[in-house]
Amino acid sequence: MDYFYVKLEDVTSHGLTLRGDESKHLVRVLRKNIGDRIFATDGNEMMYEAVIVDIGKTDTHCTIAAMHRKYNEPSVDLTLAVSLIKNPARFEYVVEKTTELGVRTILPISCEHTISHNEKHERLEKIALSAMKQCGRSWLPRIQPLQSFRVFIENSTHYQLKFIFHEKTDSSHTIASELKLHEDIHSVLIAIGPEGGFTEDEIAHANHAGFKSISLGTRRLRTETAAVVAVSHVLG
């Protein structure tokens, strides 16, 4: 099944309109025709089953046959706070793969050991959009502006459960063990550090703000690997 993105303003009670690249891909690449059924999401938790009724030069108009709320979405709202990585392609990998896994929000952070400070925000949003369509989700993950570690901690008060990953944490303190103690949790925040890891001061600051230090095992993982593993443990 192919999935498409429709802007919220292009959805009415009677139908929806795919525009620009979405319409072009549907018609010129996938060779869809009038009468074909497609799936389109507005990125705000709604997935529409739609039937093509008109194909124009730049737009494709469809009637809505059915609607599904939170289509292919996890029950836990997960925010991933992750340090920027020196190699931008690796951070793009984080955005792509964690979107596929079901993360709701991605928050780039700058820590003491962070080397890169350029998030290429627009590109990251495009990667998230492509990954959302590829895996058939109905929520487009929000890519937040880059924040310093201290500001990030100060803004983290509204989450039910908060994890920070630290290689010096006892290996018995895992995500699985913590989640067993909080079965009714609906919002989780996880923080992944840079290549050099979080400093002891950063860990102490986070713990004071209610973060639980968590281990991802005995092996030291790259930032992008740790992010994917952590998200899969929460949402898997």
Query: Max Cα separation, the chain?
Result: 61
Q: Could you read off the pLDDT of 87-133 as tens digits, one per residue? A: 999 999 999 999 999 999 999 999 999 998 788 999 999 999 999 99
Cα 84 to Cα 38, 98, 119, 163, distances in angstroms? 36, 15, 7, 18
**pLDDT surpasses 90 at 200:** yes
> Rounded CA gap, 198 and 176, in Å?
22
* Structure confidence at residue 169 (pLDDT): 78
Q: Could you read off the pLDDT of 181-193 as tens digits, one per residue? A: 887 889 999 999 9
Q: Domains in the chain, start-ordered, CATH in brackets?
A: 3-69 (2.40.240.20), 77-235 (3.40.1280.10)
Query: Which of 21, 20, 15, 12 lies closest to 38 in space, CA to CA?
Result: 15
* Structure confidence at residue 70 (pLDDT): 97
Check: CB of residue 234 under 8 Å from CB of residue 78.
yes
**pLDDT surpasses 90 at 168:** no
The residue-averaged pLDDT of 193-197 equals: 92
Check: CB of residue 228 under 8 Å from CB of residue 98.
yes
Cα 206 to Cα 79, 147, 158, 197, 226, distances in angstroms? 16, 15, 14, 14, 18
Q: What is the pTM of this model?
A: 0.94
**pLDDT surpasses 80 at 170:** no
* Structure confidence at residue 63 (pLDDT): 98
* Structure confidence at residue 202 (pLDDT): 97
